[in-house]
Amino acid sequence: MTNLRESLQRSFYMSLVNEKQALRKSKREEMLNKKRVIEESTQNTETKDIYNEAYIQAALYEVQQPTTKNRTIDALFCLRNISPKPVMPSLMKLLDSPDENIVHDTLTVFINWSGTDSAFSKQVFTPTTLPIFVKLFDNSDEKIQSQIAWIVGNVASEGGVYKQVCYNTFVVRLASLINHSLSITTVRVVVFAIVCLLVSKPLLTIKKMESLLTLLVLVFDCADYQVCSDILGCFVICSEESDEEILTLCSQFFKDLFKGYLKCTTNLLSTKEMLLAKYFIKYVGNCLRMEEDMSLTKEVVELNFIKWMQDVAMFIQDPLVKKNCFWVISNLCSTEYPNICSIINKKDLMNQVMLCINTEQDINCKAMAILAFCNFFSVCEQDQFEKLCSKSLFFLTTNRILQERDPRTTKQALLGLYRMIRFMIINDIPFIEILDTTGLYNSLHRLYETELDETSKQYIVMILTYYEKYDTSENLDEE
């Protein structure tokens, strides 16, 4: 067996250690800001380029038969950067070491291996090993507790019985740790663990979810990007469920999350804060999509979320942020909140939606803008037609949507156009010229020749009938 201290790879190893020595201490703190990812020192580098097989075997031998502190630490540094090996019993023995550095480095191996290998992750907490981790958690400092919390997050993400073991054993400990810790590093990793408990399958009961989501909201305004990102990402995932109870639960935290979000964002032009905006707006849109009691819609209106979305979020140059704004608009229009369309378009927000439909290059963003447009003009009050009937933008946008020939939106676009024409007729507003100049008249004729559902064809027939009835151009020619 090659001796670790005399290996030919030793010189390379020592140069690597010397290069990273100043960062080693901070690295162990920094790693709690990463999820299921090994340290950067070996990222994008083949393991074989750093450790040959003899060197790895020497490290494994040292872990199984420890000789000195330095050799053991060197061996653990090697193991943390390679794929898992069958040395679980030896690693568990090292957790009982009186030397704190050895315990820390052993836990780092557990973190990296459980974070990159599902099979290993499922072997971490067994009836034999779990009491050891619990005892270590309960009798150690916060740094060790944070490392165990990260392992809990990795194992919980496997779901099923592994998640259940993590919840039953550690949820109270995690809650205590996050409530008493003053370290942002600790908060980050506990948030990660709680998020894994929340989003992995099967989902927890509503009562358990509420308790954990409450914990997350309490630390949301810490102004730390990683914490805010993980929490908002969790709310997005939870709010994508089709269970009405879960959606109602998630929506209950909107007020606190919005206040916390505004507090922790200072520069929405930064890449990080764009991501936070994307998550937060997506979460709101998700919660609105099945709302019945309109309590969330009421808060969205009262807290001026629509105004913030128009004045701030819509100007972020990220198609995903805009797409999520349109998602909110389309779902708001589906509620029965009084005068919701007038509230949405108080400052001509729909102009931005229509401009996006006509200019946006991102296909998904444009599709969501079309959905928002169709939902809005299918249900809006008469005052909205009054604002737009004399402008060509509405008609140009409708024409563009009809040219897409997407059956999911064609019917709604035709309904909106029909309602607009009806409004103009009732109020004695000319519409023939604008249908001609925007190309809508010709588009309607071409569309009628395609395969359409009966309702869409009826809308076209009624609009063209109105056109023929009120078109005076032939009478003028005869005169």
The domain at 220-379 falls in which architecture? Alpha Horseshoe (1.25)
Q: What is the pLDDT of residues 361-381, one digit of tens each?
A: 999 999 999 999 999 999 999
The DSSP symbol for 139 reads T
For 324, phi and psi rounded to 5 degrees? -70, -30
For residue 473, the model assigns a pLDDT of: 67
**Percent of the chain topping pLDDT 90:** 79
Residue 298 CA from chain centroid, whole number: 24
Q: CA–CA separation, 432 vs 360, rounded Å?
A: 29
For residue 7, the model assigns a pLDDT of: 37
Confidence tier at 11 by pLDDT (50, 70, 90): very low
Residue bearing tokens 């003053």: 182
166-182 mean pLDDT: 97
Tokens of 431: 């519409």
88-111 mean pLDDT: 97
Sign of CA dihedral 38, 40, 45, 47: negative
Whether the CB-CB separation of 431 and 421 falls below 8 Å is answered with: yes
Neighbours of 243 (CB within 10 A): 12
For residue 264, the model assigns a pLDDT of: 80
Are 21-35+50-201 and 220-379 the same fold in CATH? yes
Position 19 pLDDT exceeds 70: no
Q: Regarding the domain with residue range 21-35+50-201, which homologous superfamily does it belong to in the CATH classification?
A: Leucine-rich Repeat Variant (1.25.10.10)
Cis peptide before 202 (omega within 30 of 0): yes
Q: CA–CA separation, 409 vs 449, rounded Å?
A: 17
Confidence tier at 222 by pLDDT (50, 70, 90): confident
The answer for 3, left when phi > 0, alpha when psi is -120 to 50, beta otherwise, is: beta
For the range 421-430, what are the long-range contacts, defined as Cβ-Cβ under 8 Å and sequence gap of 24 or more? 421/463, 421/466, 423/382, 423/385, 423/386, 423/389, 424/385, 424/389, 425/466, 425/470, 427/386, 427/389, 429/389, 429/390, 430/470
Q: What is the pLDDT of residues 375-421, one digit of tens each?
A: 999 999 999 999 999 889 999 999 999 999 998 899 999 999 999 99
The CA-atom distances, in angstroms, between 301 and each of 268, 304, 334, 449 are 22, 5, 15, 43
Which of 3 and 335 is assigned the larger pLDDT? 335
Q: What is the DSSP string of 92-115?
A: HHHTT-S-HHHHHHHHHHHHHHHH
For residue 268, the model assigns a pLDDT of: 59
Q: What is the pLDDT of residues 51-93, one digit of tens each?
A: 688 889 999 999 999 999 999 999 999 999 999 999 999 999 9
For residue 417, the model assigns a pLDDT of: 98
Confidence tier at 198 by pLDDT (50, 70, 90): very high
Position 13 pLDDT exceeds 70: no
Question: Domain spans of the chain?
Answer: 21-35+50-201, 220-379, 385-471
- Calculate helix-pair angle for 440-448, 454-470, nearest 10 degrees: 140
Tokens of 286: 């998700």
Position 41 pLDDT exceeds 80: no
- pTM for this one? 0.86
Position 450 pLDDT exceeds 50: yes
Min mean pLDDT across 25-34, 158-167, 460-469 is at 25-34
